[in-house]
Every structure is written in structure tokens, then in C-alpha cells.
Structure 1
């Protein structure tokens, strides 16, 4: 499919020329536009009435000397778009994309008698897109891109009857409401691209789209559409890209195999049901198949092996079943990503998958497989993302020895397997030098944290929670210079909290490099991570056997967002140095043997949205103003010598109230806490509470 940029070039070639001299009227129209800008980043220096406007920056004139193109994309322009641009009677292309323009889109531009290409995408335009009067003659507009703005209201329906030359319409990433219109199909015989995704369109996909006989891309994902795919969509034989993810569509997809030219099918996150039809093998040009988060059932058809151009296949979170050995994956040599998570596939992992030598991402987690890992997985020389969680794998030492041959692995999830086995010792495991994410959680593994992990010098995230590991946290952990997310909770680790943990470089300062996961990592359907830097900086040592005091050096970890030391045997006072953790959003010190009073300094953690010091031996008053006063009573319960208005033990009224010396505006603090609670509170529920309690 041609990009918008290619279309612009092809459409404009017959119209523009560097020669010519513009008219006074055109100059006035351009200067009126300039006057409506509050920020033009030096445009005024070029645009002044003592020179020919054909020589102005961003202006191209035709051979006849009239303004044919205004191209001011990515100029950091601010202000309003003047309707005066509609007075440029020879203007063919207007490109104001990727700026910060606000206000509405003048109807004079949409109804222009000359504009062929109109691109105002990636701005801050607001309001509705007005309807053209029914008396408007046919307009020459061929490409209209208003995507990534702030438009609202009902989407026009009659306007498109005047656009009989329309080829492309992109209105995605706005807030348009109402039904999807179909009038452009009847009036524009060459209409090829309709992009309406990321809006608030509702109702059913209308009948009539089948009249768009030249349509190659149909996209309305991330809306509120309901019902089944209408039958006439399956008559658009020219269609290459069908994209309706994240709606509420129902019914089967049997008719989809009539679209023999399809390259992309994305119907994920709907309510589709039925089986994948055997006729899918007729889609010889298919490169992407996404049906995740639906209600599909039945076995995978044998004919999937005929879709030899497939590069991405995502069928996760359905009710698919059967033995995968029925599909010959060895014919899918172009496959790059295969995701079958959360289904009911049985048997062993088919070895034909390991013939897909171009695979970079493979996820088979949460199925009903059994057996041991095959050595043939080492054939996947480009594999970077592997998730085999919860598929009843056995023999952890053998599995890791096999996987260490996958030298390109950066993300490895193999938790919920190897139940009650022993963590491999140092002389048994090598490799994994490129690993950035390693998860070996929920295995009930015994043994100690192995020294071979110290060789994973690029490691950024380590998940060892819900095992039975014992002994101290090893001193070498601080040598993992990129590690920023550590979860060792719910084990039997002992000893004092080592100073090595409070020396972690990435938990003290530093920004996490932004790297994209080959597949999104899900905590839940609504909480998915696609880049490493989205993960919070975490130190979670909850539910272990740590003793001693919380080291005062804990205040060095200034980058932490979550600190969980709950359910241990820690004693002593809460260190004042925690005040230095100014980014902290979750702090859980509950179920220990901490004593003393609540430090005044905690009231200065303005971003704290989850706080728990319950079930300790703390004393004194709970603050009745400031940040800590915003938390519920269960954050403080189980401390018999604590008193406060939210506890059964009330304080003596003669006591001096707890007031922070550095901050008095409790309302501001409360609003900050309330605003961050929904982001981090949900995260905490996902990664802590639901796991342990």
C-alpha cells in the first residue's frame, strides 16, 4: 500500500513548479494565515510583503505563478488555521501536519474547489467536522488526513457525497461518535483507504461498505462497534487490510476467506466465536493473523500450513484446543512471531515449530502441554522472546542447558513449571549473556539464588517470586548494573537486608533504556507493557525471613517507585532516610516487628498512593493532616500503641498534633495522591496483593 507521503508526491507532480510569481490576493491570504499564528518559529522572517510569496518558505507555485502548495509540516506552529487559506484558488496541497495548531478546521478548506490533498494530522484541533451543504458541487479532494487531533461529535455523513474523487480518508485517533457512514462508497469509485480507528464510533458496521469495490484498507479498531461483520464486506475482493481490533464484534469469521487478497487480518479483542475455517489456507497472501482475546474454539485447521507468507500469528486468549502436531509449521518459513498463550492445546510442543527458523518471538504459555523441552529449539537462531509459562515442563536443569544455546534471547519467561525441583547450581548453567528479562517464578524451587545469575550482566528485570529459595541475597547482585526491577518475594530468604541491594545503580539514579518487547507483556488484559521503560523500578522482598533493621542506606534508592519489605522479621525503627525516596508510590512495611514512632519525614512522600505499616509494634499518633492522613485505617491497624481518629485507640486531645514542618497544604498532597492511585494502585494489586493474599 502506498504511504500518504508517496500519494502526495504522485498527486502533486503535474501541478507544481519552482518558477512563477504569486498574486497580491494570494499574498494577503497567506499573511492572514500568518497573523493567526501565535508561534511560527521564524516564518515571519521569510514571509513579508516585499518579496514574491513564491519564494517564501514552505510555498511552491505552479507554472502559471499561482500558489499550488503550502507545506509547513513539523514546524512547531501554534495558533489557529485561518479560513483565508481557502481563498487560494489554485492551492492543490495543504500540509500542516505535526504541529500544535488549535481551534477548528475551517470548512472552507474541506470544501475548497482546488485542494486535492489536505493534511492537518497530529495537531490539537478541536470541535466537530461540519457537514457541507447539500447544494455544494463536487469537490476535487482526494486525500484527507485529520488523524491524531481532538475532534469530537458526530462524524459527517452527507459531506462525502460531494467527494467523488476521494481516495484516502484518515480520521483515526480522535473522539468522533455515532455510526460509520457509507456515502463515500457510493460517490467515490476510486475510494481505497478508510481509517477510522481509535475513536468512539458505535453501532453496527453498516451495510454498504461492499460498494467500495476499490477499497484496500478498512480500519475501525478501538471503537465501540457491535454485531457481526456484514456479509457485503466479504465482497470487497480488493481488500488487503482488515483491521477491527478492540470492539465488541460477534459471530464467526467464515466469510473472511473470500477475501483472497488479504495481507492483514486483525480482529483481536472482540467477542468472535466459532472455529477458524479450513478455507483459511486459501489466503495465500496473508502475512498477519490476529484473533487474540476472542471466544474462538476448536482445533487449528491443517490448512494453516498453506499460508506460507504468514509472518505474525496471534491466537492467544481463546478456547482453541487439540494437538498442535496436526499443523505442519515447517511450511511457515516466514513466521516471525507466534503467540498461542491462554488456550487449551494439549500434547507436546510440536517440533515442527522449531523449523520456523526466522522466529523471533514464541509464546506458548498457559496451555495443557506436557513433557520436556526439545533440544531442537536451539535451531531458532534469531529467537529473542520466549514465554513457556505454565505448560508443565519438567527438568529445569536440562531446560536451561538447552535454552542457553539460544544466544539471541533477551526475554525469557519459564515460570509455573518445574514444580518442587531444585535450582540448578553454578557449574551446570552457562550462556544467557544477552538476557534482559528473566522470570522463573511460581515454581516452588528449592535451593539458593545461584551464582550463575551474576553472569547475566545485561539483566534488567528478575522475577523469582513464589519459590522456596533460602539463604541470603548474594553480594554480587549489585554488580548487575542494569537491574531495576527485582521481585524475590514469597521465598524463604534470610539474613539482614544486604547493603548490596541498596547499592543497585539503576535503583539509585539512571534512566532505563527504551526497548520494545517483541510481544506485549501482560499483567492483565487491561495492563500490558510493550517497552521496558514502562515497568516501574521495584524492590520487592516481601514474605521472606529477613531480620535485623532496615538499613539507613535504603534512602540511596531514589529512583524506586515500589518498595515492599512486608511479612518479614525486621525490627528497629523506620529510618528517616526513606524520605529521600521522593518518587516512591508504593511503600509496604507491614507484618514486621518495627517499633518507634512514624517518622515525620514520611509525610513528605507526595507521590505515595499505597501505604501500609500495619501489624508492627509502632507507637504514637497517626497524622491527621498531610499525605499520610489520606490513607485508610487498615494501613495502620495491628499496632496496639498507635492512636488516631481512624483507629479504635484515640489519642489524648492534649497531645500536639502531627504536622509536617516542610509541607502544610494537605489538599494539594491529597490530590496528587488520589491522581496517582489509579495508575500505581492497580499495578500494586496486580504484582503484589493478588499474588500473595
Structure 2
């Protein structure tokens, strides 16, 4: 046996190092925890909640509240942050949170909290950042006017139910002020004494007045000014030029007028200008856009600007989105437009521009251009020929409608390898649909209605991959409101084929049944003959079927009863005969869907069927039907609501957060989900208008009722679709501009 011998000196060293190690461990461990006062204040807040989002699991008596979910403490164990955003909290905010002596940041945003806002929070002697946005808080804000001096610098009360006049409080220390409620009146003069203010955002707040009456020039530190969707009128004052640090200017959807001030060019840090949906007029040449080298998004849609598009805009080389639609610009596009190498979105719809060939030559080499909306210009010109147009190598959305252009569908379109949405409607195009149409492998929205196209419907259409594919389709528009943060906005468009109002002849091809992904099929106002092909029942996702105003004969196939999502059905003004199928979706269609067919009979018509003619009811309720009930409820969330496909959002406030709104088809069946990417200190963007319809909600609805009961609910509301105008609202609204912007709200 080997024996170990230790000297006294060695043993002393071991003891010394051991004691040091124990001391180090003790120092590394918390010697204390939060105070009983802090713990009690937090537990009082928890007790005021009816839904606590599982906070109770960690918020326990006898534990250190610095370790609780959503709580952050300083190194000396003082509670500094209560960050409980998006936790599903319900109930009232208690005043006890105002008793936390070291609290710096309180974020209760994006919950379902109700009641009033305790004055103790806003008048706190410690809170710097208070965010209660996106809740159901209510009441007047008049009590804020009596608040004592406080360190509060960031206050976000947006998207609540606060009412009354804007409180004339003392705002000198404020740096961020955000609101979106039902306030009335004007912004108080005291607000403009807040010379430290960097972020002033009150969109959709019911405010009024004029910028000319405001001392806006005093807010020299302002980086974002968002007063969109209010009732402001008057002109933009020349004093706007004093805001040298301004990055985002949002005055959209007001009643403002007049010419843009030349001093706007002094705001050289501007990244976003959104003056859309106002009554501004005059020429843009007064503003020297050459000074705005950082400009990335310029949105002037729906005003009364005239003259030519100024060359100085084409020097904004960082421009990503340019929207000048619905104005009175005229003349040709200048060659300088080709200098905008970063341009991704261009909309010039509804102006008086000329020379489409020249325009497409300039834009054809724009490698980053994904969206080009230039319809309602180039009146009575000819569609450009094939060999002079550039490649548009990344173009995904092309709309050249309402011109009307003559000529044929040009071959150069076949070279747009990434094209997804093609709109050539309301022109004077002639000839046949070319066979190369099937090579557009990504196109899922094809509208060539209201032309003079002839011939039979080609089977090449039935080979278009994305009309057959079951893959999810979204259209993602990249927008860059800040230099380091990319926003991606996704828009859902129905998978659509619209050949209406042409001169097509012959029978509807049997191969139409291959287009299993179609949501909308419109063949109305042609000269089609023969019977309604039975394979249409294979189009199981179909919501709109319009075969009206043709020369179709025979019976309506009873198999169409299996189209459980069908919300709009129109076969009027044909020569159909026999009984109208009974049951299923056919019980929801009115007589106007069948008018002009003297030989048809059915319960919704004057001519009811005899006993020998009456068809059997064909509603079959199965597990598959149960799933389809969920599909109808969820899918109608985007197909029945026009905002998702006739409104495109361009601008977002200059915030630090990122978001992605995804509307998809497939297993989630058209549900909308809002995905947040949020850092602790970031501003966070939310969409107030587009609220998610989650698959969980759908499952809850279907789970609560039997399949038949849920099915009856869907039928009772006519699939949530016909109230929006049926075919006209769904398949034609996109043909105008598709661009009324939703609001984006920003909060910290």
C-alpha cells in the first residue's frame, strides 16, 4: 500500500486555496434578493389579472422575484424592468406597479388588459419607458395634466380606447410619444416645448388642426413625425426644414393641400416620406430631391400633383419604393429613372404618361425591380414589340391594365422567369393566347380580361404549373424603412384565372379540372358553347366560379355540390336546363346566379322543379367536411377581406423592430399569422388592421360545434364572401391600383 505524506506547509496551502474557493463561490451567489415591498407590489399586480399567462408558475411567495418570469433586476437586486409584452394577460393594471422604486421600464403591450391607466405609473419618479400599447385600456387622459415633474421619456399608449382631448401636460423631458386612440382636438402647444422629443407618433387618433399653427420647428431632435390618418388640413410649413434629424415623415390620409415646401429638401436625413391620400398639388420641381440622398421610400399616391416627374428624384440612388400613382403627371419617363439601381417597387398607375416602349426600355435593366404597376397610362398606344425590351430578370408583379393598348400578348413576357402576377386587363389586345403561356412557371394570378382575344381556350393554360400546384403562394414586398432593418410584407392573392369579357369560342376544355389550386375562375362574357365540364368538381379550392353570359347548354353538373368553398357562383344568361343541384353551397346562391336560363328549375326560381326533375340532396358530412368547414372559415379571412389583395403597404415608421406578416394557403388554409422578431430594447412594429385569424381559433370553433352545426354557420353567413360584392369585389378590385395603404404602428 502506497502512503501519502503531507507537510504542514502543503496542508496549509490546501486550506488556504479551499477557503478562497468557498469565498469566491459565496461572492458569485446572490447575497440577497428583491425586497418584500417589491415582491408584494408585483404579486398585487398578478392578483388583478384574470388571465396571467402562466406567470403564477414562477411568481411565488418565498422565491426571489429577481428570478421571476419577465422581471429584470440590477446588480444590487432592485427591480428595474417588468417586460410582459404579448403574454395574453387579461384584467386590470393595478397601481401597485408604481410602488417599485427602481422601476425604469414597464412594457405591458400587446395584451388584453382593460380598465384605466393608473396615474401612479405615468407620474412615477423612476419610470423612463412606459409601453401599454395594443390593449383595451380606456377612459379620459385629462388626469395626466396634473402630473408632477417626472423622468418619463417614452410613453406609448397606441391602439387602446382612450378618449377625450389630448392632455395639455408638461412634456419637456419626453423623447418618444406614441398614441393611437379616439382622442379629439389638437396637439397642445406645450407638446412643442419638448425639445428632446425624438419620436412623435399619433396616427389615427382623431386629431385636427394645421401644421402651420404648430411650433414644429422647435422639435429639432425629432427623428419620426407620424400624424397620418387624422383630420389635419392646411399646408406643410416651410419650418419643416428646421427638422434636420428627421428620418420619417408620415402625413398620409389627411386633408392637407398646397405645394410641397422647398425647405423639405433641408431634411437631408429623410428615409421615408409618406404624403399619400391628401390633396397636395402643383409640381414637384420646387423640392430639390437631390439633397435627400438617404431617401428609400417616397409615397405620393392619390394627390393632385402635375407636371413631369422631376429629374431630381432620379438622383435618390437609395430609393427602394416609389409610388406616384393617382396623380396628374404627364410626359415620358426620363432616362435617369434607370439610375435607381435599388428600386424594387414602382407604381405610376393612373397618370397621363406616354411612350410605353421608351418606359419599358428604361426599366428593363432594373435588376432589383420586383413590382411594376404602370397601367392607366399610355392611352391608345401599341403594346411594345419583342426585341427591344430588357429582361426584367427579377420582376414578380407586372400590371399594365386600363391603357388601353392594342396589339397582341407580346413574346417578351415569356422571358419574365420570376413573374408571379400578370395583369393585362382592360386593353384592346387581339389574337389568341400564345402557347408559351405555360412556360410562366411561377404565375398564379393571370388576369387578361376585357380585351378582344379570340380562339378557343388553349390547353396550354391547363399546364401552367402554379395553377395546378398545391404549394403555398404569397407575394412578399420588401420595404426598407431604416438602413439596417429590412421589413418584409407578404400579401395573399387568390390563385386566379380571369378570361372574362373577350371573344373566346368553343367548349370549355375538360382539362380545366387539372387546375386544382384555383380559387377564382371567371370565363364570363365570351361566346363559349357546350356543356359545363364535369371535371370542374376537381377544383376543390374554388371560391368563385363565373360562367355567365355565354352560350352554354345542358345541365348544371350535380358534382359541383362538392365544391364546399364556393362563395360566388354565376351561370346567368346561358341556355342551361334541368334542375339546379340542391344542398351544400347551392342553398346559399340567390336567383340572380341563374337568371336568363329559361329551362332551369329550382326552389330559388319562379319555375320550381316537378317531382321527376327534383335532384337529391347531396350534402355529405364527414371528417373531411369537418376540415373543410375550418378551411372556409379561415380562408375567407383573406379572400373575403379586400384589404389583403387590393391594398399594398409601402411605408413603415422608422423603428428598430422587424416583423413579417405571412398569409398562406395550405395546411393552415389561408389563416393569417403575425410573427414578431423582438429584442428587449427594440421598438416593435404591429399591424392594427390585419389581425390574425389563427388556426387555433378555427380548431376551437369546429371543436365547439358538430360538423353540421359549423357548416350551417358558414352557410348562414353566405361564406362571408357575398357581402363583399361577390365577383365584382373579389376578381375586379385588384384591377385598379391594389394600393390603399394599411397603417403600421410603432411602439417601444
TM-score scaled to structure 1, two decimals?
A: 0.81
Out of 440, 445, 457, the position equivalent to 1:485 is: 445
Following the alignment from structure 1 to structure 2, what is the Cα–Cα distance between the partners of residues 582 and 279?
59
Partners of 2:733 and 2:64 in 1: CA distance: 64
Aligned to 1:217: 176
Identify the residue that residue 557 of structure 2 maps to in structure 1.
599
Paired with 2:24 and 2:294, the residues of 1 have a C-alpha distance of: 46
On the 8 A contact 2:117/2:137 being kept in 1, the answer is no
Taking the aligned partners of 2:62 and 2:202, their CA distance within structure 1 comes to 38
Contact 1:340 1:363 in 2 (8 A): yes
1:93 to 1:415, Cα distance in 2 relative to 1, 3 A: farther
Equivalent position of 1:556 in the other structure: 514
Q: 1:405 aligns with which of 360, 365, 373?
A: 365
Counterparts of 2:89 and 2:350, CA distance in 1: 48
Deviation string, structure 1 residues 222-260 (Cα, Å, up to 9, x no partner) = x32222222221111111111111232211123233211
**Is the aligned partner of 1:91 residue 2:134?**
no
Q: Paired residue for 1:57?
A: none
Cα distance in structure 2, aligned partners of 1:560 and 1:443: 27
Contact preservation (8 Å) 1:160, 1:183: no
1:675–1:214 CA distance, 2 compared to 1 (3 A): farther
Say if 2:34 and 2:78, in contact at 8 Å, map to a contact too. no
CA distance, structure 2, for counterparts of residue 587 and residue 316 of structure 1: 35
User: Does 1:142 pair with 2:99?
Assistant: no
Q: Give the direction of change, closer, same or farther, for the CA distance of 1:62–1:416 in structure 2 (3 Å limit).
A: farther
Q: How far, CA to CA, are the matches of 2:62 and 2:727 in structure 1?
A: 57
Residues 1:67 and 1:130: Cα distance change in structure 2 (over 3 Å): closer
> Would you say the 8 A contact 2:145–2:168 is kept in 1?
no
The question of 1:330 aligning with 2:294 is answered: no
CA deviation string 1:351-410 (max 9, x = no partner)? 111111111111111111211111111111111111111221111111111111323211
Cα distance in 1, alignment partners of residues 725 and 273 from structure 2: 30
Contact 1:161–1:187, Cα closer than 8 Å, also in 2: no
**Is contact 1:337-1:362 (8 Å) kept?**
yes
Deviation at 1:476, TM superposition (A): 1.1
Matched, 1:117 2:78: no
Match of 1:250 among 208, 220, 223: 208
Q: Any stretches of 5+ residues in structure 2 without a counterpart?
A: 1-22, 40-50, 482-486, 623-706, 737-748
Pairing partner for 2:601 from 633, 636, 643: 643
Partner of 1:566: 524
The 5 A counterparts of 1:353-364 are 353-364=313-324
Aligned-residue offset at 1:140 = 3.2
CA distance in 2, matches of 1:186, 1:83: 36
- Give the direction of change, closer, same or farther, for the CA distance of 1:92–1:238 in structure 2 (3 Å limit): farther
Indicate the SS of the match to 2:65: coil
Aligned to 1:82: 56
State the 1:188 CA deviation: 6.3
Q: Return the alpha-carbon distance in structure 2 between the equivalents of residues 224 and 377 of structure 1.
A: 42
CA distance in 2, matches of 1:513, 1:637: 36
Q: Which residue of 2 aligns with 1:42?
A: none
| CA deviation map 1:275-299 (0-9, x unaligned) | 0001000000000101111100011
- Report how far residue 185 of structure 1 moved: 8.5
2:579 to 621, 644, 658: 621
Name the SS for the 1:574 alignment partner: coil
Equivalence map 1:169-180=2 (5 Å): 169-180=130-141
Q: 1:189 aligns with which of 146, 150, 158?
A: 150
- Partner residue, 2:535: 577
Aligned residue for 1:671? 713
Pair 1:680–1:459, CA change in 2 (3 A): farther
**SS across alignment from 2:177:** strand
Offset at residue 330 of structure 1 (A): 0.7
Which segment is superposed worse, 415-424 or 182-191?
182-191
> Structure 1 18/212 Cα, relative in aligned 2: closer, same or farther at 3 Å?
farther
Higher relative contact order (CA 8 A, sep 6+): 2
User: CA–CA distance in 2 between the matches of 1:530 and 1:568?
Assistant: 40
Tell me which of 121, 124, 127 is aligned to 1:163: 124
Quick check: 2:378–2:405 contact (8 Å CA) kept in 1? yes
Q: Is the 8 A contact 1:591 1:614 kept in 2?
A: yes
Q: What residue in structure 1 maps to residue 745 of structure 2?
A: none
Please tell me whether the aligned partners of residues 222 and 245 of structure 2 are also in contact (alpha carbons under 8 angstroms).
yes
Q: How do 1:343-422 residues align onto structure 2 when only pairs under 5 Å count?
A: 343-422=303-382
State the superposition RMSD in angstroms. Answer: 3.2
Q: Provide closer, same or farther for how the CA distance between residues 414 and 519 of structure 1 changes in structure 2, counting only shifts above 3 A.
A: farther
Q: Give unmatched runs, 5+ long, in structure 1.
A: 1-16, 22-60, 71-76, 98-108, 521-528
Q: Distance in 2 between matches of 1:156 and 1:476?
A: 63
Correspondence for 2:661: none
Change (3 A) 1:65 1:566: same
Aligned match of 2:388: 428
Q: Distance in 1 between matches of 2:104 and 2:54?
A: 24
Residue 476 in structure 1 maps to residue 518 in structure 2:
no
Deviates more, 1:492-501 or 1:184-193: 184-193
Contact 1:512 1:532 in 2 (8 A): no
Q: Distance in 2 between matches of 1:265 and 1:366?
A: 24
Distance, in Å, in 2 between the alignment partners of 1:19 and 1:313 is: 57
Mapped to 1, the partners of 2:714 and 2:730 lie a distance apart of 22
Give the conservation status (yes or no) of the 8 Å contact 1:305–1:329.
Answer: yes
1:184 deviates by 9.7
SS of the equivalent of 2:239 reads helix
Aligned residues of 1:167 and 1:188 also touching (Cα < 8 A): no
SS in 2 for 1:515: strand
Distance 1:319 1:519, change over 3 A: farther
SS of structure 1 residue aligned to 2:290: helix
| 1:144 partner SS | strand
CA change 1:425–1:243 in 2 (3 A) is same
Distance across 2 between alignment mates of 1:679 and 1:125: 36
CA distance in 2, matches of 1:656, 1:682: 30
Residue in 2 that maps onto 1:662: 620
TM-superposed CA distance for 1:467, in Å, is 0.4
Aligned-residue offset at 1:115: 3.2
Q: Deviations over 1:522-547 (max 9, x none)?
A: xxxxxxx9845412211111111111
Distance 1:359 1:692 in 2: 26
Query: Do the aligned partners of 1:163 and 1:187 also contact (CA within 8 Å) in 2?
Result: no
1:137 CA displacement: 5.2
State the secondary structure of the residue aligned to 2:318: coil
Instruction: Identify the residue that residue 128 of structure 1 maps to in structure 2.
Output: 92
Distance 2:604 2:253 in 1: 43
* Deviation larger for 297-306 or 495-504: 495-504
SS at match of 2:190: helix
Equivalent residues, number: 604
User: Closer, same or farther in 2 for the Cα pair 1:124/1:565, shift >3 Å?
Assistant: same
Matched, 1:269 2:229: yes
TM-score between both structures, scaled by the size of structure 2: 0.75
- Counterpart of 1:634 in structure 2 is 592
Kept in 2, the 8 Å contact 1:585–1:680? The answer is: no
